[in-house]
Amino acid sequence: MAKLYFHYAAMNAGKSTLLLQAAHNYRERGMRPLLYTCAAYSGGQPGVISSRLGIAEPADLYDDPDDLFTRIRDENETSKVDCVFLDEVQCLTRQHVWQLARVADRLNIPVMCYGLRTDFLGHPFVGSAELLAIADTLREIRTICECGAKATMVVRRDQHGRVQTEGSTVEPEKADYISLCRKHWEEAFGRWPVKGP
């Protein structure tokens, strides 16, 4: 049986690089992978999954109203799909995650999801939380904080280097994100993110 996988990490851990490498391995063996990425990060341009190492591949875009199960099923009926890869899965809705679970369960196609677990405010993304709840296999991809400890959080800085403590959690430009361990994230954020008891 195929599985639903969630590979998660903070920024700069190499998620997109691993995705592109795995998709290349499928193609090298004469198999057909489908690649998807979030439309919210595309800036109105065609879909591309790119790595900070400089490699990139075209990808189909997904957005909130999409039915991913139907799209993938239709692709599979046209020509056999051997694996589905999705980047920036923090953008997925709860419905998308269940649609992807159906792809694995009913179409028997492995689904490999790559994305962030939490936003710069320290809150779980909706899609990531749903994947953490129902994915068959979870894999943390590690990166390090400036102190050398495992980075699990990200902060977003403005053009003056100030840490932002509010704003949209989905921004097309990702260059101002920095991965930190929880201790240094809390220090950079300047306050405890949870209010009340």
Helical (H) or strand (E) element with 75: helix 68-78
Identify residue 82 by its one-letter amino acid code: D
Q: 88, 130, 140, 173: which is the annotated catalytic residue?
A: 88
Helix (H, G, I), strand (E, B) or coil at 167: coil
88 is catalytic: yes
DSSP result, 14-73: -HHHHHHHHHHHHHHTT--EEEEEEGGGTTTSPPEEE-TTS-EEE-EEE-TT--HHHHHH
**Catalytic residue annotation:** 88
